[in-house]
Chain A
Amino acid sequence: MTAPRPLSLHVPEPGCRPGDTPDFSDFEIPRAGAVRRPAIDEAPEDMRDMAFSVVRVLNKAGEAVGPWAGLLDAEALRTGLRHMLTLRQFDERMLKAQRQGKTSFYMQHLGEEAVSCAFHMALQDGDMHFPTYRQAGLLIASGYPMTDMMNQIYSNAADPLKGRQLPVMYSARDHGFFTISGNLGTQFIQAVGWAMASAISNDTKIAAGWIGDGSTSESDFHAAMVFASSYKAPVILNIVNNQWAISTFQGVARGGAVTFAARGHGFGIPSIRVDGNDYLAVHAVASWAAERARSGLGPTLIEHVTYRAGGHSTSDDPSAYRSKEEFSAWPLGEPIDRLKRHLITIGEWSEERHTQALAEITDEVRACQKKAEANGTLISGPKPSPRSMFDDVYAEMPPHLQRQRQEAGF
């Protein structure tokens, strides 16, 4: 008998830390157009390959190729480009507003604009998204007023949420955007419940749940998967894999060796991995999953492979834990450039039109900001009434809260 050797704990580490040279050579990316497009009623066990590849439409030359291409006309693509440019411009201005001290906090979408903007275009009015804090593209693409988003960020007198919520925790029922919670993963199972309710009511609406790579570790991720699968809920379960959960690389959530999409297999949920920086691919896969859900065929799990190019939030400095060069080395590129290039390639866009559009968008966002700031910011100007703090805890204010409001002097 040999003496037992002492065990040691394995702790995953990213391949690249500050000062290192990023290396994505292990990241296998198929050519655009190479991945097949299954029928929406294909059995989950027959399409397991979809969770280990990456659906891509736009190739290096900027052409849309393969079985997932051809769903959107040039007008729709120009609209999509506009949504992404608007989101990026919105991010830039709000980031700056936070640095100027006009609000306490902000979270940007840099590099992930295609995910929420393109996905939104595949759903219909009346469907409900259960987003995280990094899908504001759903609001922008739905036409929700940017001034109201800013009012929320500034917690000013016109804030639709009356100053109760941390910036970016929007809520917009009429735009199919469920109230954002700070507690991670909770909304994933709620999306499944909403979809079950639609099915119970013999409705035709579907739900979309959203979660990040890090939060797939939360228990509610697993709750959502088992409920969605057991009840064949008409829901699309989206994992946005941007490689990072604050400072923690996706390997700690057990990404890397096995894809996040592959987690659907254990639950019998069809799962697809998509190039999250490819507007056309995200839209095509979302449309496929939406059609599946609407046809009563049940849930789909989608892993959007992308990269969080910015800091986690305005309270975060990513240079403390990852290489500054990582985003430029990221093999799936940058979503706005890729769609712009495609539109130019097919003769539906030009550098001049792009410059012109960008100028218009900048003006529009600036005008919205001016309007919002007239309603106040966190540090100056009109504010929500402190009296309103006691409202909406319950439908009707119970006596103990009435007494506390009185005690507070409001």
Chain B
Amino acid sequence: MARMTMIEAIRSAHDLAMERDERVVVFGEDVGYFGGVFRCTAGLQKKYGSSRCFDAPINESGIVGAGIGMAAYGLKPVVEIQFADYMYPAYDQIVSEAARMRHRSAGQFTCQMVIRMPTGGGIFGGQTHSQSPEALFTHVSGLKVVVPSNPQDAKGLLLAAIEDPDPVIFLEPKRLYNGPFDGHHDRPVVPWKAHPLGEVEDGPYTVPLGKAAIRRPGSALTVLAYGTMVHVAEAAAEDAGVDAEVIDLRTLIPYDLETITASVKKTGRCVVVHEATRTSGFGAELSALVQETCFYHLEAPVVRVTGWDTPYPHAQEWAYFPGPDRIRRAFKAVLEG
């Protein structure tokens, strides 16, 4: 066991995957010699050579498109889009190609590929370094979508994603790269070494895709969250003294409906939290699923706490980011509703 940041855990997953399978190939902008703008691929080129880990031209469609061609050949590309905000040029390749390949070729061609991208706000990233575009992927049949919330999961989920036969969108909340963040931006940053989930096995292990984790057991209400918002929801529960059950979805597609419904049927109340904008966000899907499957157990309407339906602002960061106060108010609403 070792203490790792999320960055180190992700780097370790790459390292182990490359070590045991020479078909694993890693590339993207600045990921080679330099080791990535967030250091997630540091040292890999030196260890495995520049034909296994290399820098790519600044062309997201090219990065994903070339990766798809490699996957069709039989390699297992793990590619990086520097920020999720910059995945849009690759969207055609992701939606029309990676996601559809197995279906449209009736299994002749497949796309075993991981597309990593740092996501989320809370870092004064402004419009193009803060977005959470997960709903643009969850809406696409054929993709799997993963969002880890801690180093332990990040490593296990990434190793599972690399071995998964389907294309996986792997969204890494960059706000969590160096330490957990509970939304209290006015308090000092806490490093991962002080958090139990910063304890990571040295060797390979997997966290299965499609399985949620209960981060905080409770009976008063259920919180459905992922990524940074898991920590914010936990803090909100502590701050408010509410016995909330916080579920970390970990995988958005395929989602773990069993864990979700078991919790909501127990608590009778549900708050959905995400950083992404509200309208047609993944929270709408979660809310609808809860309504469809737990209708007779619900004591109050499902409430969503999300980013506003605006572009992500710079100066107004903390008025935009769904922090503990807003979540507390949502708790109050569902408990009184």
Which residues of A are interface residues toward B (Cβ below 8 A)? 128, 130, 160-162, 164-165, 169, 171-173, 178-179, 181-183, 186, 189-201, 207, 219-220, 222-224, 226-227, 230, 392-395, 398-400
CB of B162, distance to nearest CB on chain A (Å): 14
Contact A400 B66 (CB under 8 A): no
Which residues of chain B are within 8 angstroms of A222 by Cβ–Cβ distance? 59
A165 CA to B100 CA in the complex, in Å? 11
B74, B104, B142: the one within 8 Å of A169 (CB): B104
Taking the complex as formed, is B103 at the interface, i.e. its CB lies under 8 A from any CB of chain A? yes
Contact across chains for B109 and A173 when beta carbons are under 8 A apart: yes
Q: Mark B139-178, 1 if CB is under 8 A from A, else 0.
A: 0011010000000000000000000111000000000000
- Residue B257 lies at the interface, judged by CB distance under 8 Å to chain A: yes
Does B92 have its Cβ within 8 Å of any Cβ on chain A? Answer: yes
Measured in the bound complex, the distance between the Cα atoms of B62 and A219 in whole Å is 9
Bound CA span A114–B71, Å: 31
Whether the pair B255, A400 counts as a contact (CB closer than 8 A) is yes
Q: How many Å lie between the Cα of A197 and that of B74 in the bound state? A: 8
Contacts of A161 in B (CB 8 A): 104-106
Does B67 sit within 8 A of A, measured CB to CB? yes
State the CA gap A130–B254 with chains docked (Å).
Answer: 31
For the complex formed, measure the closest distance between the CB of A166 and the CB atoms of chain B, giving whole angstroms: 10
Q: What does the 1/0 interface line of B86-109 toward A look like (CB < 8 Å)?
A: 000100110011001111111111
Q: B48-77: which have CB < 8 Å to A?
A: 51-52, 56-57, 59, 61-62, 65-70, 72-75, 77
Cα–Cα distance between A255 and B89 once the two chains are bound (Å): 25
| Residues on B with beta carbons closer than 8 Å to the beta carbon of A227 | 56-57, 59, 62, 66
B103 and A193 contacting across the interface, CB-CB below 8 Å: no
Contact of B70 (CB < 8 Å), options: A196, A226, A230: A196
Q: In whole angstroms, how far apart are the Cα atoms of A228 and B56 in the complex? A: 11
Kindly state the separation between the CA atoms of A227 and B58 in the bound complex, as whole angstroms: 10
- A residues within 8 A CB of B77? 193
Q: A395-B165, A399-B254 are in contact. Are A194 and B96 (CB under 8 A)?
A: no
The reply to whether the CB of B132 lies closer than 8 angstroms to some CB of chain A is no
* 16 more CB-based (< 8 A) A-B contacts, given A186-B93, A223-B57: A161-B104, A178-B72, A186-B96, A186-B97, A189-B65, A190-B66, A190-B69, A192-B65, A193-B72, A194-B73, A201-B73, A220-B65, A224-B62, A226-B57, A392-B107, A398-B254
- The CA-CA distance from A226 to B29 in the complex, in Å, is 14
B210 at the interface (CB under 8 A from A): yes
B117 / chain A contacts, CB cutoff of 8 Å: none
Whether the Cβ atoms of B57 and A194 lie closer than 8 Å is: no
Tell whether, in the assembled complex, residue B109 and residue A178 are in contact, meaning their CB atoms are under 8 Å apart: yes
How many whole Å from B81's CB to the nearest CB in chain A? 14
A114 to B265, CA, bound (A): 66
With the chains together, A115 CA to B110 CA distance in Å?
Answer: 28
Quick check: is B25 within 8 A (CB to CB) of the other chain? yes
Chain B window 109-139, contacts with chain A (Cβ cutoff 8 Å), 1 for yes, 0 for no: 1100000000000000000000000000000
CA–CA, A165 and B68, complex, Å: 19
Q: Which residues of B contact A196 (CB under 8 A)?
A: 66, 69-70
- Chain B nearest CB: distance from A391 CB in Å? 8
Set of chain A residues within 8 Å of B96, measured between Cβ atoms: 181-183, 186
Listed residue (A165, A197, A220, A230) with the most chain B CB atoms within 10 angstroms of its CB: A197
Are A179 and B61 in touch, CB under 8 angstroms?
Answer: no
Q: Which residue of B lies closest to A403 (CB)?
A: B257
B51: nearest chain-A partner, CB-CB: A200
The 29 listed contacts between A and B (C-beta, < 8 Å) are A169-B104, A171-B106, A173-B105, A173-B108, A179-B105, A179-B108, A181-B97, A181-B100, A183-B97, A186-B92, A186-B93, A189-B66, A190-B66, A190-B69, A190-B97, A193-B66, A193-B68, A193-B70, A196-B66, A197-B75, A199-B51, A201-B73, A219-B89, A220-B62, A226-B59, A226-B62, A227-B57, A395-B110, A398-B254
Q: How large is the interface on B (under 10, 10 to 19, 20 to 34, 35 or more residues)?
A: 35 or more
Total A-B pairs, Cβ < 8 A = 144
Q: Which residues of B contact A160 (CB under 8 A)?
A: 106
Question: CB within 8 A of A195: which of B69, B100, B142, B166?
Answer: B69
Would you call B70 and A194 a contact (CB within 8 A)?
yes
Given the known inter-chain contacts A197-B75, A200-B52, A399-B254, please indicate yes or no for A392 contacting B106, CB distance below 8 A: yes
Pair A198/B73 contact, Cβ less than 8 Å: yes
Task: Report whether A192 and B51 are in contact in the complex, using a CB–CB cutoff of 8 Å.
Answer: no
Complex contact A171–B109 (CB within 8 A): yes
Closest to A166 in B: B104
The reply to whether B104 and A194 contact each other, CB–CB distance below 8 Å, is: no
Q: Please pick, from A200, A392, A395, the residue contacting B25 in the complex, using a CB distance under 8 A.
A: A200
CB-defined contacts of A191 to chain B, threshold 8 Å:
69
Interface centre among B67, B70, B75, B101 (most CB of A within 10 A): B70
Q: Which residues of A sit under 8 angstroms from B105, Cβ to Cβ?
A: 161, 171, 173, 179
Residue A181 contacts which of B57, B75, B104, B253 (CB distance < 8 angstroms)? Answer: B104
Q: What residues of B have a CB within 8 angstroms of the CB of A164 in the complex?
A: 103-104, 106
**What A residues does B255 contact at CB under 8 A?**
400
Scoring B59, B74, B89 by chain A CB atoms within 10 A of each residue's CB, the highest score goes to B59
Residues of A within 8 A of B102 (CB): 392-395
Give the interface centre of A189, A194, A199, A224 by most chain B CB atoms within 10 Å: A189
Instruction: Pick from B67, B74, B103, B257: contact of A399, CB below 8 A.
Output: B257
Top 7 A-B pairs, shortest CB-CB distance: A193-B69, A223-B62, A193-B66, A189-B65, A398-B254, A197-B73, A190-B69
Inter-chain CA distance A270–B312, complex, in Å, is 45
Q: How far is the CB of B54 from chain A (nearest CB, A)?
A: 8
Q: Find chain A residues with CB under 8 A from B52 CB.
A: 200
- List which B165-212 residues lie within 8 A (CB) of chain A: 165-166, 210
Contacts of A186 in B (CB 8 A): 65, 92-93, 96-97
Which B residues are CB-close (under 8 A) to A169?
104
Q: By the criterion CB–CB under 8 Å, are B104 and A171 in contact?
A: yes
Given A164-B103, A219-B89, CB of A179 within 8 Å of CB of B254: no
Which residues of B have CB within 8 Å of A128?
Answer: 72-73
In the complex, the answer to whether B73 meets A223 with C-beta atoms within 8 Å is no
CA distance A400 to B108 in the complex (A): 24
Q: How far is the CA of A261 from the CA of B56 in the complex (A)?
A: 24
B104 interface neighbour in A165, A172, A223, Cβ under 8 Å = A165
